[in-house]
Amino acid sequence: MSETNFDLVVIGAGPGGYVAAIRAAQLGMKTAVIEREHLGGICLNWGCIPTKALLRSADIFRTMTHAATYGLSAPNASFDLPTIVKRSRAVSAQLQAGVKHLLKKNRVTVVDGHGRLAGPGKVHVDKDGKGVADLTAKSIILATGARARVLPGLEPDGKLVWTYKEALVADTMPKRLLVVGSGAIGIEFASFFNALGAEVTVVEVMDRVLPVEDAEISGIARKSFEKQGMTIVTGATVKALERLNGEVLAVIEAGGKTTQAKFDRVILAVGITANLENLGLEGSGVRVDKGRVVVDDWLRTGESGVYAIGDIVGAPWLAHKASHEAILCVEKIAGLPDLHPLDIWKIPGCTYCHPQIASVGYSEQRARERGHEVRVGRFPFMANGKAIALGETEGLVKTVFDATTGQLLGAHMIGAEVTELIQGYATAMTLETTEAELMHAVFPHPTLSEMMHESVLDAYGRAIHF
């Protein structure tokens, strides 16, 4: 490399790392980003984006099978799994090329390899076991992301037992599928394969599916999944997976009882673990606690000049959280004024299953646990004109307010396109909006967003259409 001295070096080019690099370049910093595998990271290549492409195919197929409802005809609707997968990979490839272009456009130096700290202000880069570069920088950002968590005794083999990577490039359509874990990743894959005809069983160790969501929304989701034909087993653990003649025998324990069932494929979706190995953290001031890098409100680690963002600093493990931290971190390094630390509870979360689920802020239970007296509003999709016209009448919009101040504490949705609607509430929370402003706002008609307005009105006994 001709250039080895930089203002900022970023290790990892996922949605945190590449955003940090671009923002730093915009602010006039001489910047390098190191990536050992794919520009765009897991999200773009093996997570958020390709799963959405798969789920889009599933949504269209689901609609085709109900074409008669809309006065249309789609006899003998079918699908081709290899083509669905090929489209998904093409979407990721297109966006990866876009990230490469943006980095080049902003004159960010891209270094191919594995980066690790090599002393104060120093980063060593290896590739294929050989050193390829030694960089120096005033500031270093760790943005190495995370990978699928593996439980002892349930190790994936890439053939019969999959992680998200194998599920994304499935070479066969399983007739019987077991999904271990009902977080966003597990439920999205369960939704995809269920829509294409697989007999899906979901096993969740907690007492309900999507356990981070509001309990009421979680309950509605479970009823919907079961109505679609999924088998949901909560409060359960998979004790063992035995490979037998191209099948997997799963030993499942629930309610003190043990059962066995055979499946064609198993998807493990039991969380993620941070990529902290071989980063040169030993002997540095970077502290790791409970599998995450410890940082302050400005993403600073205990090592002077070293910062960390994204999945390696802890939950929520979301791409948009990493990107926001990237901007905040770089702008703090640059000395920009009037910055505000990230409020974790104001970060929206989305699950792109069918029906979609989205939330921001505190659940009703969490708000009460924090000492709030609450007012709760609800509005069902079945009472919304646009939802009826779309044929999407399954769902609910729920809002939680502080009964004394009118502060919007949380919003929780299940139904069509709620992953797009949730940002309205996220913006409202950022602006510290109360029920008064939300009631006064004019929502266009006919739209799904009208349900957001009606839910607010319902919290105060003023709903018009329900």
pLDDT single digits (tens) 146-196: 999 998 889 999 999 999 999 999 999 999 999 999 999 999 999 999 999
Catalytic residue among 354, 445, 453, 465: 445
Q: Name, in order, each residue with C-beta under 8 angstroms of 187's C-beta and a sequence gap of 6 or more.
A: 179, 202, 209, 210, 221, 225, 351, 353
360-380 residue pLDDT tens = 999 999 999 999 999 999 999
Name the burial class of residue 367, with classes exposed (0-12), middle (13-18) and buried (19+) by CB atoms within 10 angstroms of its CB.
Answer: buried
Question: What's the CA gap between 155 and 79, in Å, rounded?
Answer: 31
Query: In the chain, what are the domain boundaries?
Result: 5-147+273-333, 161-270, 355-459
Domain 355-459: which CATH number of 3.80.30.20, 3.30.43.10, 3.30.390.30, 2.40.128.690: 3.30.390.30
Residue-wise pLDDT tens digits, 402-421: 999 999 999 999 999 999 99
Phi, psi of 351 (to 5 degrees): -125, 125
Confidence at 268, pLDDT banded by 50, 70, 90: very high
Cα separation, 462 vs 466, in Å, equals: 10
Nearest residue to 153 (alpha-carbon basis) of 36, 234, 250:
250
Rounded distance between C-alpha atoms, residue 151 and residue 215, angstroms:
26
- Torsion, CA 14, CA 19, CA 22, CA 25, rounded to 10: -110
Q: What are phi and psi of 358, to 5 degrees?
A: -150, 150
> What is the C-alpha separation between 392 and 62, in angstroms, rounded?
12
Task: Specify whether 354 is catalytic.
Answer: no
Tens of pLDDT, residues 20-57 = 999 999 999 999 999 999 999 988 999 899 999 999 99
- Burial class of residue 198 (count of CB atoms within 10 Å of its CB; 0-12, 13-18, 19+): buried
Decide if 5-147+273-333 and 355-459 have a common fold.
Answer: no
Q: C-alpha 296: how far from its chain's center? A: 23
User: Per CATH, the architecture of 161-270 is what?
Assistant: 3-Layer(bba) Sandwich (3.50)
pLDDT number for residue 2: 61
Average pLDDT of the chain is 96
Interval 319-372: pLDDT, tens: 999 999 999 999 999 999 999 999 999 999 999 999 999 999 999 999 999 999
Q: Which residues pair with 399 in a beta bridge?
A: 377, 411
- Look at residue 1 and tell me whether its pLDDT is greater than 60: no
Q: Is the pLDDT of residue 457 over 70?
A: yes
Give the fold, CATH level 3, of 5-147+273-333: FAD/NAD(P)-binding domain (3.50.50)
Quick one: average pLDDT of 111-118? 96
Q: What is the pLDDT of residue 129?
A: 87
pTM of the model: 0.95
Q: Give me the percent of the chain exceeding a pLDDT of 70.
A: 100
